[in-house]
Amino acid sequence: AQSVAQPEDQVNVAEGNPLTVKCTYSVSGNPYLFWYVQYPNRGLQFLLKYITGDNLVKGSYGFEAEFNKSQTSFHLKKPSALVSDSALYFCAVRDDQAGTALIFGKGTTLSVSS
């Protein structure tokens, strides 16, 4: 069965500094990896995904993520954080075999201070 770990409950960064939100995963086959963001009292919004190809994927709002197969990680990054990036971030994984569910991590709260 697949699983996702987000080791940090909260990440604090100053505006303008780079940010990293960590994610590691476990699957039986090959992973499809996703990042979502949730603002208060809202549903989840898709940010980016890794399916195959380049290990560095770029997504919405200037976010990017790096797939590392040997470390089974898919960390979310942004070169320069904005206060408006403050939100709850979820990493998700699905095994590439048909019929598998999309499984989420527990989420990491990102707080960007001005």
Partner 1 sequence: NAGVMQNPRHLVRRRGQEARLRCSPMKGHSHVYWYRQLPEEGLKFMVYLQKENIIDESGMPKERFSAEFPKEGPSILRIQQVVRGDSAAYFCASSPQGQENTEAFFGQGTRLTVV
Per-residue tokens: 45: 């919004």
Question: Considering the complex, what minimum distance in angstroms separates the CB of residue 98 from partner 1?
Answer: 6
Of 15 and 38, CB closest to partner 1: 38
Picking from 50, 55, 90, the residue whose alpha carbon sits closest to that of residue 70 is: 55
If residue 110 lies in a helix (H) or strand (E), which one and from where to where? strand 108-113
Question: Considering the complex, what minimum distance in angstroms separates the CB of residue 80 from partner 1?
Answer: 25
Of 98 and 114, CB closest to partner 1: 98
Interface residues toward partner 1, by CB under 8 A: 1, 32, 34, 36, 42-46, 49, 51, 90, 94-107
